[in-house]
Amino acid sequence: MLYRENGQFKTSYDADQQLLPIAQDRWFVIALAAASFVLVPLAAGDYALRALIIPFLILTIAAIGLNILVGYCGQISLGSAGFMGVGAYVAYNLTVRVPQLNFLVTLVLSGGAAAFVGMVFGLPSLRIKGLYLAVATLAAQFFLDWAFVRVPWFTADSTSGSVSTNPIVLLGWSIERPVDKYLLVLGLLCVLTLAAKNLTRSHIGRAWMATRDMDVAAEVIGVRPVVAKLSAFAVSSFYAGVAGALWGFVHLGSWEPAAFEVSMSLNLLFMIIIGGLGSMVGSYFGAAFFVILPLLLNRVPEMIGIDVSTAMKSHMEAMIFGGLIVFFLAVEPHGLARLWAIGKEKLRIWPFPH
Amino acid sequence: MRAPLHRWRGQHERDGIRPPPPRSGAHGRGAQAVTRARHDAGVLLHVERASLAFGGVKALSDISFDVRKHEIRAIIGPNGAGKSSLLNLINGVYTPASGAIHYRGQVRARMHPHEAARLGIARTFQSLALFKGMSVLDNIMTGRTLKMRTGLLAQALRVGPAAREEIAHRKVVERIIDFLEIQAYRRKPVGTLPYGLQKRVDLGRALALEPELLLLDEPMAGMNLEEKQDMCRFILDVNEEFGTTIVLIEHDMGVVMDISDRVVVLDYGRKIGDGTPEEVRASADVINAYLGLAHGAAHAAPVS
Amino acid sequence: MSTHTSPIRWLRRAWPVVVLATLLALGLAAPLVSGAASLGFFLEVLIGGLMAGVLYALVALGFVLIYKASGVFNFAQGAMVLFAALATARLSEHMPLALAVALALALMIGFAWLVERLVLRPLVNQSAVSLLMATLGISFFLEGFGQAIWGNDIYSIDLGLPKEPMILGAKLFEGGILVSRDDLVAASVVGALVLVLGLFFQKTATGRALRAVADDHLAAQSIGIPLNRIWVIVWSVAGFVALVAGLVWGSKLGAQFSLSQVALKALPVAILGGLTSIPGAILGGLIIGVGEKFAEVFLGQALAHWFHLEGGGIENWFAYVLVLAFLLVRPEGLFGERHIDRV
């Protein structure tokens, strides 16, 4: 009744191919954008912004990147946190050595550096397929872990690899308050989401999906595996690098190499599996889930009245994550995004059952 | 005697006296299409003594034949004769252990499938090989990947040239969709379509490359009479309108006899026949190997 | 075909292995030749590496078993080792060790049954990547669960092994070569385990059924082999292997969380061997064990000397990089099966 396409006929390819063909979707997204940019800064407290929303936004950027590689292009990657680290450390290096550089330029350069490293470690994907590729990306992860600690150049000569950053100053706007950080990250996320969506809709995105679905057939119709796979690694690592820089500068402030360990890679993988592989919206859902679950685990026992130790909470978190991965893979392999799509379908025919 | 192999024509039974006219008669396109194939004698593809083996199994032994421009060449033979392997050889999925493949006069030591696509060789697959995660429209659009030139950044921003390119290629793909009569299914995921329609999408994806040489691997397998007629019509239209050279593997002898200009016969990886459909049909070797000795005795006399 | 394999044809097919072997030999010889190490020290590092390799191989065996029989790449093998070790350690605080071990084994069998029921059966038709991620989920769960029940301290497992290392050849080499006794025990345990498993697979009906399932699920089902029961058996055997690994590692390091990380090292070992080969897992383990130790000690020295990169930690990534390099020339591992794409 509310969510119908009646009367919305498309008379040009342009209109047919737009991002949000259904008018109601457009309204929804505009409302969401308005709420995010205007309402949330007014309503949300500093704690919510700092502990929940900003990490959620940054992790979404990383999740989108990983989804491009794993969900759209079908290459396993267990090393995404390493590429985040590259972005973070390169950004740090740039701000220390070239402090007058605009922070956005720094971000792009760190993303570029991460993209380069990603392509290098993505080269094995041309030869190694499927499960064995997991080893290649783990090699990237562990090697980068080591490099961050041991190679002094990365950390601008800090011995333990731990660094700390000053607040970002962007064209005179000093980004110190959580609200400022929130707006910066939100803006970046919007731009990056749009870019990713455009990429997946165009010929490179189709090349990725063709490589994922049947790489031999993809090659036969002219998709060059080198181009498809390496571009997926490059774009994915770019996103990871930008997310890593933001994670370090905006969320953590100061960090050590352990912030970008293999557990973060596995968490990102968890996010996109639960959220939905091969889906932009799924990356959002997965990141949101990942951020909200510990919060629930923290609050629910108190509300029920059981006393649970912190260690036990993290164990339960691990158990629930693990159980949910299996649950989603068994029940709804396309994750929360598919549930969302089903919900929308039901809404389209509401109030009729089918 | 009218050969029983022509039953695929359905309602249009010929009377038993005259031999069936060449395919121009069946489709009313006139004689020009037929003469074009006969007169344009340039050789597009030349397979020279190609051999292929998997481990100890010899898939192909010493195969030689050529394909002229604009003709329709059929490859027939019993199951396991190596027909699909031959097609894989032509478009670079396999590399011959010995011998060479000449395309447009040039030999390449080892050709990757995407290089073959770049040279204008497209193919369909016996087992479909469609991209199950995408819609019909997207599947055929992937066929345009080679022709799409815009860089990553332009695609990400999707302004100006990138948007225009996408629409231009969409127009081409829509023409193919119209040609194959699958407009109603363009947004459906290919996995949900019936087999016959999936085969059309496979053909559409190959056509999207605007190929010079089209390799069809059993395009009519598993189809009923009507679907076969439609597919034959598509193949003939592609050959006549765009001049695409076609090599097809087919089991239905009626189809082969009717639409192909020349035929290659394989058996156990060896070539046992090469010539026009009539020549091949009359060849004792082919009859023995393919149709069986009893059949050979009944049809030993050539038709008129 | 095999009777007529000339040396040249063998070389053409096996050249990656030959190159790897040569490079390894060179790498091994380098410290000796360059004088960076005395023969005694060299042998000590070598033996230490072999011992570590045997332990890796022990965990890798579990990977290979499960992959062979169910085509699943079991990311949770490390978590299984951890769980078994924790179970034994904690249970043995209340009862004799033998009983604790038996109970732990029972727990692993129960775990195998649960995995088959709750994970493998619902996911039976999905892709290898999905199954890998499912085992990732299992590993998260098992780590959390194990620590939730048994606690997250370091607990000791006392197998009654002598703790002092042996000193060999004190007369030939100055100071002699240090060889730890429990590593020797571990090596013999692995040897025995491989023998038992080999016999099991080759000689028993169940073993035959397991091999059939590994070859082709559908065909095995069509001759009446109960897939579900086979999977429970395989995961139980893998659980048994994990238990043995947990005991051996646990008595060395203590049963603690980092065990599952250490076991993660067995992943490249299994891949190097070619996921379907038990001898491959052993050989891969030895190669990686030795390579890692040598890289840590000698490569670390070289890096410190020439690039001023202090501090070590090379063994965290060396195994992976080594396997990666090898896979580039031989994507199917040492003894794995070649994957041919049929179109």
Q: How confident is the model at residue B28 (pLDDT cuts 50, 70, 90)?
A: very low
CA neighbor of B146 nearest in space, from B124, B122, B130, B164: B122
> What value does the mean pLDDT take over residues B191-208?
93
pLDDT at B219: 92
Q: Touching check for C129 and chain B: CB below 8 Å?
A: no
CA neighbor of A246 nearest in space, from A57, A93, A31: A57
Q: How confident is the model at residue B37 (pLDDT cuts 50, 70, 90)?
A: very low
> What value does the mean pLDDT take over residues A60-86?
94
Residue C303 scores a pLDDT above 90: no
Per the CB < 8 A criterion, the answer to whether A275 and A289 are in contact is yes
Question: Out of C142, C317, C331, whose CB is closest to A139?
Answer: C317
- Cβ-Cβ pairs closer than 8 A, A with B, add up to 111
**Closest approach of chain B CAs to the CA of A125, in angstroms?**
17
Nearest CA in chain C to B85: C343
What domain range is C256 assigned to? 37-329
pLDDT at B178: 93
Q: Please give the CATH architecture assigned to the domain spanning B1-120+213-226+245-304.
A: 3-Layer(aba) Sandwich (3.40)
**CATH of span B129-210:** 3.40.50.300
The pLDDT mean for chain B works out to 81
Q: Touching check for C147 and chain A: CB below 8 Å?
A: yes
Nearest CA in chain C to A218: C343
Cβ–Cβ gap C340/B54 under 8 Å:
yes
Read off the tokens for B295. Answer: 């059949």
pLDDT at B200: 93
Residue C229 lies in a domain: yes
What is the tens place of the pLDDT at every residue in B143-169? 999 888 888 888 888 888 888 889 999
Total of domains in chain A: 1
> Partners for B (CB, 8 Å, 3+ pairs)?
A, C
Give Cα B241 to chain centroid, integer Å: 15
Cβ–Cβ gap A195/B156 under 8 Å:
yes
Q: How confident is the model at residue B33 (pLDDT cuts 50, 70, 90)?
A: very low
Residue A108 lies in a domain: yes
Instruction: Kindly give the pairing relationship between strand B121-123 and strand B213-217.
Output: parallel
Per the CB < 8 A criterion, the answer to whether A154 and A248 are in contact is no
Nearest CA in chain C to B55: C1
What is the tens place of the pLDDT at every residue in A285-319? 999 999 998 888 777 777 776 777 778 888 888 88
Total of domains in chain C: 1
Backbone phi, psi, residue B40, to 5° = -80, 95
Which range among A260-274, B288-302, C11-25, C254-268 shows the weakest confidence by mean pLDDT? B288-302
Residue B234 scores a pLDDT above 90: yes
Residue A216 lies in a domain: yes
Q: Under DSSP, is residue B43 helix (H, G, I), strand (E, B) or coil?
A: strand
- Cα atoms found within 13 Å of the Cα of residue B53, Cβ hemisphere only: 9
pLDDT at C5: 52
Read off the tokens for B279. Answer: 């020549």
* Distant-in-sequence, close-in-space partners of B129: CB < 8 Å, separation ≥ 6: A214, A216, A217, A220, B202, C343
Q: How confident is the model at residue A230 (pLDDT cuts 50, 70, 90)?
A: very high
Read off the tokens for B293. Answer: 């000795």
Q: Which chain B residues have any C-beta within 8 angstroms of a chain C C-beta?
A: 54-56, 84, 88, 93, 125, 127, 129
Per the CB < 8 A criterion, the answer to whether C293 and C280 are in contact is no
Residue C1 scores a pLDDT above 60: no
Residue C337 lies in a domain: no
> What value does the mean pLDDT take over residues B225-229?
90
Nearest CA in chain C to B123: C343
Cβ–Cβ gap C331/A315 under 8 Å:
no
Among residues 1-30 of chain C, which lie with CB inside 8 Å of chain B? 1
Residue B141 scores a pLDDT above 90: yes
pLDDT at B2: 29
DSSP B135: B
Per the CB < 8 A criterion, the answer to whether B252 and B220 are in contact is yes
Residue C23 lies in a domain: no
pLDDT at B20: 38
pLDDT at C338: 65
Q: Which residues in chain A touch residue B113, judged by CB atoms under 8 angstroms apart?
A: 216, 219-220
Residue C306 lies in a domain: yes
Q: What residue ranges in B148-261 does DSSP mark as E strands?
A: 213-217, 245-249
> Partners for C (CB, 8 Å, 3+ pairs)?
A, B
**Closest approach of chain B CAs to the CA of A35, in angstroms?**
25
> What value does the mean pLDDT take over residues A114-125?
92
Nearest CA in chain A to B207: A221
Spans of all domains in chain B = 1-120+213-226+245-304, 129-210
CA neighbor of B9 nearest in space, from B301, B246, B233: B233
CA neighbor of B47 nearest in space, from B118, B8, B101, B107: B101
Q: Touching check for A190 and chain B: CB below 8 Å?
A: no
Cβ–Cβ gap C327/A136 under 8 Å:
yes
Question: Out of A130, A312, A325, whose CB is closest to C134?
Answer: A325
Residue A76 lies in a domain: yes
Cβ–Cβ gap B125/A217 under 8 Å:
yes
Give Cα C275 to chain centroid, integer Å: 11
Tell me if B1-120+213-226+245-304 shares its fold with B129-210: yes
Residue B297 scores a pLDDT above 70: no
Instruction: Determine the Cα–Cα distance for residues A320 and C205; give it in Å rounded to an integer.
Output: 39
Q: What are the distances in angstroms from CA C272 to CA A104, A144, C56, C334?
A: 43, 21, 12, 6
Instruction: Determine the Cα–Cα distance for residues B238 and A209; give it in Å rounded to an integer.
Output: 28
Q: Touching check for B95 and chain A: CB below 8 Å?
A: no
Q: How confident is the model at residue B15 (pLDDT cuts 50, 70, 90)?
A: very low
Binning chain B into helix, strand and coil, the percentages to the nearest 5 are: 45, 20, 35
Q: Touching check for B12 and chain A: CB below 8 Å?
A: no
Question: Out of A134, A151, A318, whose CB is closest to C144?
Answer: A318
Per the CB < 8 A criterion, the answer to whether A101 and A38 are in contact is no
Residue A269 lies in a domain: no
pTM of the model: 0.86
Residue A283 lies in a domain: no
Q: Touching check for C191 and chain A: CB below 8 Å?
A: no
Residue A171 lies in a domain: yes
Residue of B88 and A1 predicted with greater confidence:
B88
Residue A189 lies in a domain: yes
Q: Which residues in chain C touch residue A216, judged by CB atoms under 8 angstroms apart?
A: 341, 343
Cβ–Cβ gap C141/A317 under 8 Å:
no
Nearest CA in chain B to C2: B56
Q: At what angle do helices A178-201 and A225-246 cross, to 10 degrees?
A: 170
Residue B291 scores a pLDDT above 80: no
Cβ–Cβ gap A199/B117 under 8 Å:
no
Instruction: For an interface test with B, give the residue of A191, A220, A230, A345 to mutate (most B CBs within 10 A).
Output: A220
Per-residue exposure over A240-277, b if at least 16 CB sit within 10 Å of its own CB, e if not: bbbbbbbbbbbbbeebbbebbbbebbbbbbbbbbbbbb
Residue B63 scores a pLDDT above 60: yes
Q: Touching check for B225 and chain A: CB below 8 Å?
A: no
The amino acid that residue C308 corresponds to is: H
Instruction: Determine the Cα–Cα distance for residues A254 and A270; give it in Å rounded to an integer.
Output: 25
Question: In this structure, how many other beta carbons lie within 10 angstroms of the beta carbon of residue B12?
Answer: 9
Q: How confident is the model at residue C161 (pLDDT cuts 50, 70, 90)?
A: low
Q: How confident is the model at residue C37 (pLDDT cuts 50, 70, 90)?
A: low
Q: What are the distances in angstroms from CA A106 to CA A24, A110, A169, A240, B11?
A: 38, 6, 12, 14, 73
Q: Which residues in chain C touch residue A330, judged by CB atoms under 8 angstroms apart?
A: 119, 122-123, 134
Instruction: For an interface test with A, give the residue of B84, B142, B212 to mutate (most A CBs within 10 A).
Output: B142
Instruction: Determine the Cα–Cα distance for residues A131 and A125; give it in Å rounded to an integer.
Output: 11
**Closest approach of chain B CAs to the CA of C341, in angstroms?**
9
DSSP A49: I
Angle at B190 (CA atoms; ends B185, B196), nearest 5 degrees: 75
Per the CB < 8 A criterion, the answer to whether B37 and B70 are in contact is yes
Per the CB < 8 A criterion, the answer to whether B260 and B230 are in contact is no
pLDDT > 70 in chain C, percent = 86
The amino acid that residue A79 corresponds to is: G
pLDDT at A173: 80
Per-residue exposure over B281-290, b if at least 16 CB sit within 10 Å of its own CB, e if not: bbbeebbebb
Q: How confident is the model at residue C305 (pLDDT cuts 50, 70, 90)?
A: confident
Q: Which helix (H) or strand (E) holds B165?
A: helix B161-180
pLDDT > 90 in chain A, percent = 39
Any alpha helices (H) in chain A, and if so which ranges?
13-16, 23-34, 40-43, 46-48, 54-66, 80-97, 103-122, 132-150, 178-201, 203-213, 215-220, 225-246, 262-275, 280-304, 310-331, 335-349
Q: How confident is the model at residue B120 (pLDDT cuts 50, 70, 90)?
A: very high
Residue A101 lies in a domain: yes
* Token pair 């059924």 in the structure block, residue: C209
Backbone phi, psi, residue C240, to 5° = -65, -45
Instruction: Determine the Cα–Cα distance for residues C343 and B40; give it in Å rounded to an integer.
Output: 33
Instruction: Determine the Cα–Cα distance for residues C303 and C317; give it in Å rounded to an integer.
Output: 15
pLDDT at A285: 94
Q: Which residues in chain A touch residue C311, judged by CB atoms under 8 angstroms apart?
A: 149-150
Q: What are the distances in angstroms from CA C269 to CA A68, B252, C21, C79, C152?
A: 29, 52, 16, 17, 27
Question: Out of A198, A206, A212, whose CB is closest to B156?
Answer: A198
Q: At what angle do helices C266-273 and C39-70 cross, to 10 degrees?
A: 70
What is the tens place of the pLDDT at every residue in C191-208? 888 888 878 877 888 888
> What value does the mean pLDDT take over residues C218-227?
82
**Closest approach of chain B CAs to the CA of C324, in angstroms?**
25
What interface predicted TM-score (ipTM) does this complex get?
Answer: 0.84
Backbone phi, psi, residue B102, to 5° = -100, 125
Q: Touching check for C144 and chain A: CB below 8 Å?
A: yes
Per the CB < 8 A criterion, the answer to whether B202 and B194 are in contact is no
What domain range is A212 assigned to? 45-261
